[in-house]
Structure 1
Amino acid sequence: MLTIHAAPLVLPVGAAAVVDGAVAVDGDRIAALGPYEAVAAAHPAARIRRWPGLIAPGLRQDGARELLTRCYHPDPREADELGELPLWGEDFERIAVTMDATRRAGSVRRGLQRMLRHGTTHVAGPFGADDPALRTAVARSGLVVQAAPSPAPVREGVPDLDPFAAGGDLARTAGAPLTVGGRADLAVFDVPDEAALYGDGPRPCVATVLAGRLVHRAR
């Protein structure tokens, strides 16, 4: 079924922002993009999903390899003991000493799922033959693997699931612009404008659409 995702603002990247905009998704592709009234009129039978804030392209997580190989993502059942945030540094090393393949695979799956909650649809690779289990997990997630940007960003401190944490604007952080005929990878943020995506303020991701599928929706 064709679905129209509508929001007060759509930021395609590489094209003008659309106030009261919409993105029509058919399968894994973008079928239309523009003002809501025009998109809805052209697709009267479409299902409508209305979102607060803005619709942007899905984001690229440049620190994906670090987040998946140098962090442990606790199971919810471990939250009382380990918390909910990725563990790295000495905390990761302490767990890694006794981590078997099953526990590591679970951490990787949870890390990938938690990336989706931050609007991530693309990850910077490569994930090569040196780690086939990791490569397989990333492939099964449906996330798009892209080459790391050049020059590679300098990352310091705690690896962060938020793609904007490393700095950079939407044009740099987006996996790919929203275009008609392009893959339907969207991120929806409950913020009033693009400027609110940057800085230290909250930028709640309320939905992530990966190849046309709604894979994250905030409660």
Structure 2
Amino acid sequence: MLTIHADSRGHALAVKGAWIAEAGTLADLVAAHPGARVREWPGILTPGLINLHGNELLEETYHPDPREADELGTEPLTGDALAALTMDDARWGASARRGLQRMLAHGTVRVACEELRNRAVRDAVHRSALAMGRLGRPGGTPALDPYRSGLPVEFAEPRERHSAARFAVFDVQDEAELAERGAGTCVATVVDGRLVYRRR
């Protein structure tokens, strides 16, 4: 089934399976595909973000389970706080899945990382369908929000006809407001045509 995703500016993408079938205005795409499902989002459609700190955020960080909030808090744990935890494959895998969900909630469609050494983390990333790849370690500060890393923000490939349906929607008026307010404004993330995050 074809789905049209549109933003507040009237920009729209027609998605079929894992691919973008067409890009254009909402009016034009609805006219061309009268039977399509239409999802209208507040804000702007973008190609989605690349998080440059995959290894640091997934293999060197623990993302607490909400049920651990009383004991560990809700913020990611690194350094001595991580070293104090007893970590096994099951716990690493669950942490990586939560970390990936938090990345998706910040409009991430690609995670840049060197080869993942932790099998449980590697399995979680492969199941997420997020694209991977990186040479060397970037500078900056590892952050779920790429706008808070101190590095230039990188976006995935432009969204055009026959390209992979990987994009995000941020509840801002334009790119300048997105840079100012950050990726916490994400309302939806689509990876390979699937809506993998939607803000409630």
Normalised to the residue count of structure 1, the TM-score between the two structures is: 0.85
Among 16, 19, 22, the alignment partner of 1:32 is 22
Closer, same or farther: CA 187–218 of 1 in aligned 2, 3 Å = same
Closer, same or farther: CA 54–80 of 1 in aligned 2, 3 Å = same
Q: What RMSD, in angstroms, separates the aligned Cα atoms of the two structures?
A: 1.8
Closer, same or farther: CA 136–25 of 1 in aligned 2, 3 Å = same
Closer, same or farther: CA 201–182 of 1 in aligned 2, 3 Å = closer
1:119 lines up with 2:107 in the alignment:
yes
Aligned-pair identity (%): 49
Among 94, 109, 122, the alignment partner of 2:84 is 94
Which deviates more from structure 2 when the two are superposed, residues 75-84 or residues 60-69? 75-84
- Tell me, in whole angstroms, the C-alpha distance in 2 between the residues paired with 1:164 and 1:181: 29
Q: What's the CA shift string for 1:107-159, capped at 9, x where partnerless? A: 1111111111111110112324x4333222211111011335x8x64124xx3
Among 134, 140, 143, the alignment partner of 1:147 is 134
- Tell me, in whole angstroms, the C-alpha distance in 2 between the residues paired with 1:45 and 1:202: 32
Once the two structures are superposed, the pairs formed by residues 188-207 of structure 1 within 5 Å of their partners are 188-199=169-180, 203-207=184-188
Closer, same or farther: CA 153–180 of 1 in aligned 2, 3 Å = same
CA contact (8 A) 1:197 1:203 kept: no
Q: What's the CA shift string for 1:6-54, capped at 9, x where partnerless? A: 1123xxxxxxxxxx21111000000111111111111111000000000
Normalised to the residue count of structure 2, the TM-score between the two structures is: 0.92
Q: Secondary structure at the match of 2:31?
A: helix
Closer, same or farther: CA 168–42 of 1 in aligned 2, 3 Å = farther
- Tell me, in whole angstroms, the C-alpha distance in 2 between the residues paired with 1:56 and 1:124: 18
CA contact (8 A) 2:140 2:150 kept: no
Closer, same or farther: CA 177–138 of 1 in aligned 2, 3 Å = same
Report the count of equivalent residues: 200
Q: What's the CA shift string for 1:152-195, capped at 9, x where partnerless? A: 64124xx31012222455xx511221111000011110011000
Closer, same or farther: CA 202–121 of 1 in aligned 2, 3 Å = closer
1:59 lines up with 2:46 in the alignment:
no
Closer, same or farther: CA 74–57 of 1 in aligned 2, 3 Å = same
Q: What's the CA shift string for 1:57-85, capped at 9, x where partnerless? A: 12111011100111110011111222222
